[in-house]
Chains A and B, each alone.
Chain A
């Protein structure tokens, strides 16, 4: 009986989060002004964190909120503000190219859905682990140490490169 209720709660949470994520992703894609699209993206990213919590990946859920919502989205909004002189030009393309993009997206969606529905997925449903941060940290510093160090160097290079690109140029 309690398993039934656990399933029911999980299904309800999944449906609610899916509504938020897909609705706001539609808004981010089709909103006319770029500021509205950025705010719709805010709800998409929060909903993704909800998915991660639902999947038992609580460390990644927190990371998603801190980095995406607190970092990348703020950066996006800064970009919008710094280039706000062309705010009135930030519209969609003409109707014709948007229809072409929509058709391409629909074809891609049909292909992916066919792959998902007819694919031979053999999935288990193991128990959700009690803790995720400790095993993740252990993996990052043992099996994935090289990739971890490389990613830190990449991050440093990206930040230096960004600062170099937007430096004040002397004429």
Chain B
């Protein structure tokens, strides 16, 4: 059985839902960050799978999905750096990275 677009879409949907459950269910901020990484990877898998199986004009190869995936990876790197900085600041002012503890905006 050849692997077609739908197989990748199903795997990406499962990854996305696992990421959502991880975001909702975890207490620690780092756990929520792990869930966000899962979600971003699922989106990237969708983009690259669509890029691979797109109907292109003959003789012309389309790379737009891969370019989009590159931008997603760049933004994921930004997001991870900022999130870690926020988590460390939160740890300094609350002494924990439990999202139920951090309920004050003014530190």
Contact = CB atoms under 8 A, between A and B. Distances in A.
B2 to A, nearest CB: 5
A contact patch SS: helix
B17 A123 contact: no
Contact of A59 (B2, B21, B66): B66
A132 B63 contact: yes
Nearest to A25: B18
A75 B18 contact: no
Contact of A75 (B20, B41, B66, B80): B80
A16 interface: no
Contacts of A76: 30, 33-34, 37, 80, 84
B105 interface: no
Interface in A73-124: 75-76, 78-80, 82-83, 85-86, 89-93, 97-98, 100-102, 104-106, 108-109, 112-113, 116-117, 121-124
A105 B18 contact: yes
Contacts of B61: 126, 129, 135
A166 B100 CA distance: 22
B1 A51 contact: no
A43 to B, nearest CB: 12
Given A22-B18, A28-B18, 15 more contacts: A11-B1, A14-B7, A25-B18, A28-B38, A44-B41, A45-B41, A57-B52, A78-B84, A79-B33, A79-B88, A83-B30, A83-B87, A92-B26, A92-B31, A123-B55
Interface of A: 7, 10-11, 14, 18, 21-22, 25-26, 28-29, 34, 37-38, 41, 44-45, 48, 51-52, 54-57, 59-60, 63-64, 67-68, 71-72, 75-76, 78-80, 82-83, 85-86, 89-93, 97-98, 100-102, 104-106, 108-109, 112-113, 116-117, 121-126, 128-129, 132, 135-136, 139-140, 144, 147, 151, 154-155, 158-159, 161-163, 165-166
